[in-house]
Copies of this chain bind each other. A is one copy, B any other.
Amino acid sequence: MLTYSFEAARSEPLYQHLYQCIKNDIMQGVLSPNEKLPSKRSFAKNLGVSTITVENAYAQLAAEGYVYSLPKKGFFVTDIRNDLSREKEKNCKREEKEQTEQKRYLADFTSNQTCSEQFPFSIWAKLMRAVLKEEREGLMKNAPCAGILPLREAIAGHLKAFRGMDVEPEQIVIGAGTEYLYGLLLQLLGMEKCYGVEDPGYHKIYKVYKSHRVPCSYVEMDGAGVVVSSLEDGGVDVVHISPSHHFPTGIVMPVSRRYELLGWAAKAEGRYIIEDDYDSEFRLTGKPVPSLQSIDVQEKVIYMNTFTKTLSSTVRVSYMVLPSHLAQQFRGTLSFYSCTVSNFEQYVLARFIQEGYFERHINRMRNYYHEKRDLLLKQIAGSPIADCCGISEEDAGLHFLMKVDTDIPDEEICRELDREGVRISSVAQYYVNPPEKKEHVFVMNYSSLEEENLKKVMAVFERVFARKRKKQ
């Protein structure tokens, strides 16, 4: 059996000395790869030390990868030259790389990314410096779960000025992204409730609910938004909608349907409407429609919005406005949570809004997108594909619909466009239960379109659509 002297141990702990001795033997090849080490008990007896000493030495060797353990068999020397676990890690690495490496597209009409030149970097930097200098104490104090008061006040002011909403800062809850807030809402409203999501709709919302294993039901839509009878049929308790601008159809819910929905919610206790107002800031023409929250007098609407869409992923801040009784319940049951947005980002954003930069930024972005949209529409109108393409829902938000007159399946069109560097999705892809009427409508998310690529993109459209039509 292995034997080491403990005379040289001096001041260091015994296990540390033993660890060093074994490690040296492994490094110098005295102990061979996959050789079994003595059992703890017999080794301890042999060395005249306690079992704990051997145990601790083995643990540290294992921790550093010099030995490995097999259940009920003991400890073995690692083959350092040919570590199997490396293989596993390599696989893991490759897989992640594949997932994060994105193909460079000429244009990606499925992405809602904006380009970095539009972000007001210098103003943001100025405000950051000011916050670091002037808010030191506030920065180090744990924020309430719902977020720091100055930011909630700023948001309330913004909602008043921009959306005509009368909201108290106490009703506002700030969080790191709407997806996180959905999770909080599930905890607030109950995991046993049935959540209704729009069909067609934004897949992510459904995924969040499913991932939390809550009952979830798809709700049918007509030209005015979700069909109220479908809520009753599906046994829905909480319905998640975006009445200001539905994705992907672009529908703006008319007032009559809004009242119908509020009526549905009022009929039973525990019914709620989640109003996802994700891109109401970018309504390009016409007066913005009042939010559902602002016509709700029965505390049935939970309003949600995000700054990530308007300001980019540099900031990750969203918020929800709870009806008073839910805000109270939130403080009672969920305020043990820490706010997920750092104090620093909250203070900077509060100033950004309060000092008027946010409004100016939105206005500038609205013009920027307005021009981008017009340019794209003009190109389409002036191109040979104009007579086979119909444009609709182009006034609200950052996407419009393009209906193409063809009898080739959507998937084939998408595939061919993709091959040529243009990524696009069809409305049909967002349906779980697609309508019988087969139309070829594509979602044109133009926010990330680079103008210098526009001519090339149009050429691709012409090639693909022309080919299609010849086949007819």
A interface residues (Cβ-Cβ under 8 A, vs B)? 16, 52, 55-56, 59-60, 62-65, 68-69, 71, 88-89, 91-93, 95-96, 99-100, 113-116, 119, 121, 124-125, 128-129, 132, 136-137, 139-144, 146, 149, 164-166, 168, 170-171, 176-177, 179-180, 183, 187, 191-192, 203-204, 207-208, 211-213, 254-256, 258-259, 263, 266, 287, 290-291, 294-295, 297-298, 308, 312-317, 324, 327-328, 331, 333-345
Residues in B whose Cβ lies below 8 Å from that of A333? 211
Contact A89 B324 (CB under 8 A): yes
CB distance from A195 to the nearest CB of B (A): 14
Contact A62 B295 (CB under 8 A): yes
Contact B344 A144 (CB under 8 A): no
Contact A315 B344 (CB under 8 A): yes
Contact A132 B140 (CB under 8 A): no
Beyond known contacts A55-B259, A121-B132: 4 more, CB 8 A cutoff: A59-B290, A113-B141, A139-B313, A176-B180
Complex alpha-carbon distance, A54 and B159, angstroms: 25
A286 nearest CB neighbor, chain B only: B13
A15 nearest CB neighbor, chain B only: B255
Contact B116 A140 (CB under 8 A): yes
Contact B316 A338 (CB under 8 A): yes
Contact A338 B125 (CB under 8 A): no
Contact B295 A88 (CB under 8 A): no
Complex alpha-carbon distance, A337 and B181, angstroms: 12
Contact A170 B337 (CB under 8 A): no
Contact A168 B315 (CB under 8 A): no
Complex alpha-carbon distance, A187 and B182, angstroms: 14
Contact A179 B255 (CB under 8 A): no
Contact A93 B132 (CB under 8 A): no
Contact B113 A142 (CB under 8 A): yes
Contact B316 A92 (CB under 8 A): no
Complex alpha-carbon distance, A405 and B359, angstroms: 63
Q: Provided the pairs A255-B55, A343-B314 are in contact, do residues A290 and B60 lie with their beta carbons within 8 angstroms?
A: yes
A336 nearest CB neighbor, chain B only: B207
Residues in B whose Cβ lies below 8 Å from that of A164? 63-64
Contact B113 A69 (CB under 8 A): no
Residues in B whose Cβ lies below 8 Å from that of A254? 52
CB distance from A279 to the nearest CB of B (A): 16
Contact A290 B176 (CB under 8 A): no
Residues in B whose Cβ lies below 8 Å from that of A146? 96
A115 nearest CB neighbor, chain B only: B140
User: Which listed residue, B71, B168, B317, B334, touches A298 by the CB 8 Å rule?
Assistant: B71
Contact A337 B179 (CB under 8 A): yes
CB distance from A139 to the nearest CB of B (A): 5
Candidate in A55, A114, A295 with the most chain B CB atoms within 10 angstroms? A295
User: Which listed residue, B99, B142, B166, B290, touches A313 by the CB 8 Å rule?
Assistant: B142
A190 nearest CB neighbor, chain B only: B213
User: Which listed residue, B65, B179, B256, touches A338 by the CB 8 Å rule?
Assistant: B179
Complex alpha-carbon distance, A168 and B328, angstroms: 44
